[in-house]
Amino acid sequence: MKLIEYNNKKYPYFQSTGNAAQFALPFAKHFCEGVGVDIGCKNREWSFPGSKTVDLDIDDPYHANNLPEVKLNYIFSSHCLEHIPNWVETMEYWYKKLEMDGVLFLYLPDYSQEYWRPWSNKKHLHIFTPQIVEDIMIHLGYTSILKSGIDLNNSFMVVGKK
């Protein structure tokens, strides 16, 4: 078993290799259908199957706050929201981009992984908990919300239906 160590704590090695979405995709396939985007996938090979990829590292005109001019059935995003300066504004924008009954599927790093905290990893501007994400979804008007516990990737999923 390959492990990495940070602050005298051990974590799975795969946390250092990218493609966190691989752990959420089996669940997301049950919620994300129709026309949708994968925001922050890093590269096309890691994206949600059949989605339009949206990432600053991919040559396209889109980013988290500038999505294609279509109403979306779903937005899938893995380990991206913590990089966005005004994440509340982005969550409001994503809500507006979804069709009625559209789904927002988020997979986010948890506070339990010390390296992912903003004061340890300067690329992360925020840290979330399932409760914080559920609270903003309630505030925005999502009608059905499911949240997971923390997985072996020190991450969690929250799914909201508009």
Residue-wise pLDDT for 47-105, tens only, equals 999 999 998 777 778 899 999 999 999 999 999 999 999 999 999 999 999 999 999 99
Q: Which residues pair with 87 in a beta bridge?
A: none
Confidence label for 45 from pLDDT (cuts 50, 70 and 90)? confident
pLDDT tens for 108-137 read 999 999 999 999 999 999 999 999 999 999
Q: What is the dihedral of CA 56, 62, 66, 71, to 10 degrees?
A: -130
For residue 97, the surrounding DSSP H or E stretch is: helix 87-97
Q: How confident is the model at residue 42 (pLDDT cuts 50, 70, 90)?
A: confident
Residue 36 near residue 49 (C-beta atoms within 8 A)? no
SS percent in the chain: helix, strand, coil, step 5: 25, 30, 45
What are the CA-CA distances from residue 43 to residues 21, 49, 58, 105 (Å)? 11, 12, 7, 18
User: Structure pTM?
Assistant: 0.95
Q: Which pLDDT does position 124 carry in this prediction?
A: 96
CA 159/CA 52 separation, integer angstroms = 19
The domains found in the chain, sorted by start residue, are 20-161 (3.40.50.150)
